[in-house]
Amino acid sequence: MLHTAEEQTPNSAITSIKSQVAQSLRSADSEVDIRTTEYFNHTFAPDIILRWPRQKAERHVYLRTSANIDYLIEDVSLARDPNSIFMPLARVEFNDASDSLRERLETTSRSQSALVTEPESFSALGEARSNRPVVGLASRSLLQGGNGYVAPLRAARFGDTLADAFQRAQVPVMDESPDSVQQAVQDAEDLLDSAHAGEVSGFLHAVWVGSGGNGAQFPGGEGVTAAPSGAALELLLKTVEIDDERFWARMAKSLSFNKLSEMTATTEDQNFQHLIHAAVDILKAKGVRIVEGVPSRGQARWFLDQGQLALRYRGVTAIFASSKVGDLSQAGVVSMTGPADLQRRARRADIRLTEVSVGTKDRHFDYGSEDGAAITQDVQLDQFASALGGAAEVRKAVARVGERDVLLDFLTSTAYGRTAGLLYLSELVRHIPIFSDYSREEVGEFVASAISGDGVDVEGAGS
């Protein structure tokens, strides 16, 4: 039941306050999980609990009906809840004679790794984020790792400075003033814990280096690397579309499956295509599996689903395992076919088969060359299979890439490196067509669009 201002009960008023605060916090970070408690203005029990499940992070929010500075200092000291947020519902007022109080509030809150701020701080950042998405890094970082006392105006200024620095880092010319980049790094160090300050610095440094700047000349903190966190990388992908192969080539150098797993959202946008196309000959994986998925049209598209790298093309969805085939939790589709059809698929995809295992319900044989030579053209293979009857199907096979073997399991449509071997994404992509009856044109379109983003027509279907 809704209550008007005249008939609002104490409980409904508290619920309304918490709801408004939660809305303010969520506007600053859409990924945060917010739970309210049954407490209100309690000394030791939080009013709101913030959680980031993927990062396994948690932060407690204590609402305060009084903005009295002495009371806030006392509350932070008494709660002894590290990494908490104290949020007065009224504006904190300082006068000319309160410098010592401001310093005490700052010192006390920092000693507890606590943030003291008002709901308006996050509301302002949330509004700015809608127009300049990069402000989302400022709001998220402040919510997760803010320290000390941060007034709403200070929070808004941090968002503006970071947005300006992002634009500046895309034009890394040292004879132009780098003050905005340096100021953003300094603001992050002043307002955030070391981990989140490093994330902001790493994000700007990555943009700086990706845009062609000299990493040693980055106008930020010492020890900054060009490897943004998964969250910062995700924000970079969402901020502005960058159609610059050199930029993404520089970004791809620091890409890893760990970074991809840190990304929380499903993404299939063009920036992500640019990034993976730049990484196909850099990033290595254990294997790839064909699973049930949503049919698609047109060229192959890379996407992330809850941190898992995958590729979609027409009726095929392929997921990649970073280090172990056992990491592939989804069941693969069955794609067993006859030896002659397998050889035809291999020729269309230019795959060098060296061994096959063919069987029926109660019989099987293995066929291969002694010296590892290709058997893709061997007519004897189909002749041997005919001896088992028309039901003979290929269950497993081995393909050769350079001096390395790729194991092909047709019972689960999985291609993976032998023993501990890892393969480049581009190498695994080229083996995906072996599990489907693609024409030569379709193989060409799939490989070209998955590896370079180019859709090509290959003349002649071939057999």
Residue spans of alpha helices (H) in 112-240: 119-131, 135-145, 152-169, 179-191, 194-210, 230-239
Higher pLDDT, 25 or 6: 25
- CA dist 383 and 98 (Å) reads 94
Residue with tokens 């060409």, as numbered in its chain? 444
Look at residue 14 and tell me whether its pLDDT is greater than 90.
Answer: no
Q: Which of 118-122, 147-151, 336-340, 368-372 has the lowest mean pLDDT?
A: 368-372
Q: pLDDT tens digit string along 427-436?
A: 999 999 999 9
Mean pLDDT, residues 355-370: 82
Look at residue 194 and tell me whether its pLDDT is greater than 60.
Answer: yes
The pLDDT value given to residue 389: 67
- CA dist 120 and 139 (Å) reads 12
Q: Which of 47-51, 197-201, 353-357 has the lowest mean pLDDT?
A: 197-201
Note whether 242 and 272 are within 8 A (CB).
no
Q: pLDDT tens digit string along 232-287?
A: 677 778 777 788 888 899 888 888 988 888 776 666 788 899 999 999 999 999 99
Q: Give percent of the chain above pLDDT 90.
A: 40
Mean pLDDT, residues 364-371: 80
Look at residue 381 and tell me whether its pLDDT is greater than 50.
Answer: yes
Instruction: Please give the structure tokens belonging to residue 217.
Output: 């000349």
pLDDT band at 224 (very low <50, low <70, confident <90, very high): low
Q: What is the 3-state secondary structure (H, E, C) of 234-303?
A: HHHHHHCCCCCHHHHHHHHCCCCHHHHHHCCCCECCHHHHHHHHHHCCCCEECEEEEECCCCCCCCCEEE
Closest CA to 150 of 196, 115, 105, 109: 115
Q: pLDDT tens digit string along 111-122?
A: 989 999 999 999
- CA dist 10 and 243 (Å) reads 55
- CA dist 355 and 368 (Å) reads 4
Helix (H) or strand (E) holding 115: strand 115-117
Higher pLDDT, 268 or 403: 403
Higher pLDDT, 412 or 362: 412
The pLDDT value given to residue 98: 67
What average pLDDT is seen over the chain? 85
pLDDT band at 79 (very low <50, low <70, confident <90, very high): confident
